């Protein structure tokens, strides 16, 4: 069997187009322009790249960007004061503080200071709690993207066995909660899990969020399974040129799985698309308009 390749780029582009038409409707029917505030502290090169692509996507969707670039020496108090201003600003529908933050700033404190209605990353304890209680919530973007990709292959996930490798607050735990909300039977694996290959072999849906290049081998995969590879790992390629690989040995897995996400071009593009979706939904909730997306 050769797996179908799940085209995250195309699915993300479709989602972004839907967001753009919802934004157009909000503007014309309700006079509302969703705005996303992105706060970047310091000059981490990877974070700068993410922030640039987020701002580009905001503009493409017809929303209002509001970027705040602060020096690496910014104090926690200054970041908290900025978050308070953004919470109070009616032009701002979503607030995203780019992580990681410099060591003098407590990221948890900053996340907890964001208005949960504007928490488009879905990391605020209120949104985390609402998600695990099965209540409507702003949900983390990469996990939401994983579930959209799995559903693009399977339709309903009800009753399927899902294994999530990784239990971080950013990916593993929320992806497991979202799969549970889709009525999958979910197992979360981590570094202390016994017989990980055996566990993975039972999975109809396998989500790998480990951060170790090509860790999941082909013979760990149940024939026909849907494999969602979240990993982004930089390795030396031919001629010493860096290339990006996932947490799954792609060529081996492709020979066994029913469908698989490539890296790059799978989960990655979904993160920003889901951020745009969260921003437009947050704008609707804040303005009391029923979202049509």
Nearer to ligand NDP, 154 or 167 (CB): 167
Dump strand ranges (E) for the chain. Answer: 4-5, 35-41, 64-70, 94-97, 161-165, 185-189, 205-208, 226-229, 233-236, 242-245, 259-260
Per CB under 6 A, 117 contacts ligand NDP: no
User: Site map for ligand NDP, 163-202, x if CB under 6 A?
Assistant: --xxxx-xxx----------------xxxxx--x------
**The one catalytic residue among 115, 121, 204, 229:** 121
54: annotated active-site residue: yes
Separation CA 129–CA 111 (nearest Å): 14
Among the listed ranges 10-18, 63-71, 251-259, 264-272, the one in contact with ligand NDP (CB under 6 A) is 264-272
For ligand NDP, the binding residue among 34, 35, 122, 231 (CB under 6 A) is 231
Give the CB-nearest residue to ligand NDP.
168
Nearer to ligand NDP, 30 or 190 (CB): 190
Answer yes or no whether residue 111 interacts with ligand NDP by CB under 6 A. Answer: no
Comparing C-alpha atoms, which of 199, 207, 203, 255 is closest to residue 231? 207
Cite the DSSP H helix spans in 89-218.
107-113, 125-132, 141-154, 172-181, 196-200
Phi, psi (deg, nearest 5) at residue 248: -115, 140
Smallest separation (angstroms) from ligand NDP to the CB of 18: 20
Closer to ligand NDP by Cβ: residue 194 or 241: 194
Distance of CA 70 to the CA centre of its chain: 24
User: Rounded to an integer, what distance in angstroms lies between the CA atom of residue 95 and that of residue 115?
Assistant: 8
Q: Reply yes or no on whether 247 is catalytic.
A: no
* Distance from C-alpha of 170 to C-alpha of 192, rounded to nearest angstrom: 19
Catalytic center residues? 54, 98, 121
Residues in the site for ligand NDP, rule: CB under 6 A? 142, 165-168, 170-172, 189-193, 196, 209-212, 230-233, 267-268, 271
């Amino acid at each position: 069997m050769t797996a179908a390749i799940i085209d995250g780029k195309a699915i993300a582009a479709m989602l972004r187009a839907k967001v753009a038409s919802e934004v157009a409707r909000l503007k014309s029917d309700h006079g509302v322009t969703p705005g996303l505030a992105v706060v970047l502290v310091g000059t981490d090169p990877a974070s700068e790249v993410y922030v640039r692509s987020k701002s580009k996507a905001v503009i493409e969707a017809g929303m209002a960007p509001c970027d705040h670039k602060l020096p690496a020496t910014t104090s926690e108090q200054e970041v908290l004061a900025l978050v308070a201003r953004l919470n109070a600003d009616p032009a701002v529908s979503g607030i995203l503080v780019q992580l990681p933050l410099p060591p003098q700033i407590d990221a948890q404190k900053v996340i907890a200071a964001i208005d949960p209605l504007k928490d488009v990353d879905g990391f605020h304890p209120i949104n985390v709690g609402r998600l695990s209680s099965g209540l409507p919530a702003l949900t983390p973007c990469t996990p939401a993207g994983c579930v959209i990709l799995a559903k693009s292959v399977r339709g309903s996930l009800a009753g399927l066995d899902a294994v999530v490798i990784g239990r971080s607050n950013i990916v593993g735990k929320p992806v497991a909660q979202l799969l549970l909300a889709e009525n999958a039977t979910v197992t979360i694996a981590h570094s202390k899990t016994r017989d990980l290959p055996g566990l993975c072999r039972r999975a109809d849906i396998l989500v790998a969020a480990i951060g170790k290049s090509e860790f999941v081998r082909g013979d760990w995969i149940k024939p026909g399974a849907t494999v969602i590879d979240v990993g982004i790992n930089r390795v030396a390629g031919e001629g010493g040129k860096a290339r990006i690989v996932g947490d799954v040995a792609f060529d081996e897995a492709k020979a066994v799985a029913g469908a698989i996400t490539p890296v790059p071009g799978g989960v990655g593009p979904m993160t920003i698309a889901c951020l745009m979706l969260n921003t437009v939904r947050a704008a609707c909730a804040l303005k009391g308009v029923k979202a049509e997306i």
